[in-house]
Amino acid sequence: MKIKKIFILIILSMLIIPINANAKTLGQLRAEYDALEKQHSSKNDEIKYTESEINAAQTRVNSIYTELDQAEKEIQSITNEISKLNVSILEKDKQTKELMKFFQLSKGESTYLEYIFSAKSITDFIYRVSVTEQLSKYNDELIDEMNKMIDKNNKNIDNLHKKEESLKALQTELSEKLVVLGSKKEKLYDEYASLEEDVKNSKTIIDYYVKAGCSEDQDISSCAKEQLPPGTKFWRPLSAGCITSNFGLRIDPMAGVYRTHAGMDIACRDLSGGKVYPISDGKVVTVNYVDRGGYGKYIIIHHRVNGQNYSSLYGHLQSIYVSEGDIVTKDTNIAYMGSTGKSTGPHLHLNICPGLNSCMSTSDVTNPRNYINFPAFDGIHYSYFYDRTSYYK
Ligand SMILES: [Zn+2]
């Protein structure tokens, strides 16, 4: 029964709330902001974890260097010990051989007999015989023992070499891990920086709609219609084109006398397909659909860029795709370039004015180059551009 009720509620709420994929409320913007914040902070955690992994691996790599050093020293000292033992063995061996030689040579001969029989007593005699035998036996045992020690030492060296090998393998493994972790960290930092930017933008947009007086569940595109959308930069009004006339004094192409050209002329329609865009986000304040001289068909847009008001005018248009009151972004295709009004061929005439005005009066109009990075034009050779991205502000 309960489940059935919930279903009915869901269906009812779907009927009540208009489904519009583009419509967003301030509440939804806040939820998006919270989600971004969460991603941002978890990215930070990820970075911290990766950094601790890097530190641990680096510390282990360093400690392996110490361990390898110690193993090398141990091998060296054992090798020294083996050399000493070898020298001792040689000495003892020589001693024994000499003793044996003495034994054999002296058997039945005077020296041995002399030694034995020069004993002062029978006790001394027995002593002299046994000392000679024991000495030889003792030396043999010593050599045996030393050989055993050499074997043991060699085994130790083998073990140390094995230890060294496995330490070196671990070090290689850790170095490879460090490379992977390093590039992971770099990527995380990039993602973190871009999330930080997203969070900042999201906050600016929320602040804007709060100031515009939007309530939490109101569609922001309708509640902010009275406000100018905030922009941060200016963009070229065409995706490509060529400058055919600068702002300033020039010989009027129609009247043949010197006159101030209030804006900038951009032609080469084929390069851009004639699609005209606003120089920044804004609100369309005037649309003139009638071709009656002057700017012909034109659009005036108001902008708010970095807290300052601006107006822009797009003249000599062939077709217009927006209406007065429309909120446009820099990517809204507002018109198709043409040759209406006082024009000798298809081109866009662009005016930019500080403040909110019609942007027609020569006292308002300023040089578009003050705001947009257009290529230099010498007045004779057309200068071309192929993107909208280059800007001064
Ligand atoms: Zn012009």
User: pLDDT tens across 90-122, in order?
Assistant: 888 887 777 766 666 555 555 666 666 777 877
Token readout for 278 is 């606003």
Ligand 1 center–CA 281 separation, angstroms = 23
Ligand 1 center–CA 229 separation, angstroms = 28
Where exactly does CATH 1.10.287 map onto the chain?
Answer: 45-197
Confidence of residue 12 (pLDDT cuts 50, 70, 90): very low
Ligand 1 center–CA 310 separation, angstroms = 19
Q: Helices marked H in the chain — which ranges?
A: 2-16, 26-106, 110-117, 122-211, 220-223, 269-272
Token readout for 2 is 């309960």
Sign of CA dihedral 359, 361, 363, 368: positive
Ligand 1 center–CA 333 separation, angstroms = 20
Task: State the pTM of this model.
Answer: 0.46
Mean predicted confidence (pLDDT) in 364-382: 91
* 8 A C-beta contact, residue 313 and residue 296: no
| Whether the predicted pLDDT of 338 surpasses 60 | yes
Confidence of residue 88 (pLDDT cuts 50, 70, 90): confident
Q: What is the pLDDT of residues 301-313, one digit of tens each?
A: 999 998 889 999 9
Token readout for 26 is 């301030």
Type of residue at 163:
K
Ligand 1 center–CA 392 separation, angstroms = 22
Ligand 1 center–CA 293 separation, angstroms = 13
Ligand 1 center–CA 327 separation, angstroms = 26
Where exactly does CATH 2.70.70.10 map onto the chain?
Answer: 230-385
Looking at residue 161, what is its pLDDT? 92
Between these two residues, 81 and 10, which has the higher pLDDT value?
81
Ligand 1 center–CA 300 separation, angstroms = 15
Ligand 1 center–CA 331 separation, angstroms = 23
Between these two residues, 275 and 213, which has the higher pLDDT value?
275
Report the SS3 class of residue 21.
Answer: coil
Ligand 1 center–CA 388 separation, angstroms = 20
Ligand 1 center–CA 231 separation, angstroms = 26
Distance CA 303, CA 235 (A): 12
Looking at residue 127, what is its pLDDT? 76
Between these two residues, 7 and 309, which has the higher pLDDT value?
309
Q: Domain 45-197 has what CATH class?
A: mainly alpha
Ligand 1 center–CA 348 separation, angstroms = 7
- Which H or E element spans position 265? strand 264-267
Ligand 1 center–CA 304 separation, angstroms = 24
Chain mean position to CA 182: 11
Q: State how far the alpha carbon of 339 is from the alpha carbons of 27, 96, 120, in Å.
A: 46, 121, 144
Ligand 1 center–CA 276 separation, angstroms = 15
Ligand 1 center–CA 252 separation, angstroms = 10
Between these two residues, 63 and 136, which has the higher pLDDT value?
63
Paired strand residues for 288:
298
Residues above pLDDT 90, as percent of the chain: 47
Ligand 1 center–CA 390 separation, angstroms = 21
Looking at residue 217, what is its pLDDT? 87
CATH architecture for segment(s) 230-385:
Distorted Sandwich (2.70)
Report the SS3 class of residue 166.
Answer: helix
* 8 A C-beta contact, residue 235 and residue 391: yes
Distance CA 92, CA 143 (A): 7
Looking at residue 22, what is its pLDDT? 47
Ligand 1 center–CA 265 separation, angstroms = 5
The count of other CB atoms within 10 Å of the CB of residue 184 is: 15
Q: What is the mean pLDDT of the chain?
A: 84
Report the DSSP pairing between strands 282-288 and 308-320.
unpaired
Looking at residue 103, what is its pLDDT? 62
Ligand 1 center–CA 261 separation, angstroms = 6
Ligand 1 center–CA 59 separation, angstroms = 68
Distance CA 332, CA 322 (A): 9
Ligand 1 center–CA 298 separation, angstroms = 12
Q: What is the pLDDT of residues 22-64, one digit of tens each?
A: 457 889 889 999 999 999 999 999 999 999 999 999 999 999 9
| List of residues 6+ apart from 103 with CB closer than 8 A | 112, 132, 136
Ligand 1 center–CA 347 separation, angstroms = 8
- Calculate helix-pair angle for 110-117, 122-211, nearest 10 degrees: 100
The count of other CB atoms within 10 Å of the CB of residue 28 is: 14
Distance CA 203, CA 386 (A): 33
| Whether the predicted pLDDT of 17 surpasses 50 | no
Mean predicted confidence (pLDDT) in 323-349: 93
Ligand 1 center–CA 380 separation, angstroms = 16
Between these two residues, 362 and 179, which has the higher pLDDT value?
179
* 8 A C-beta contact, residue 323 and residue 342: no
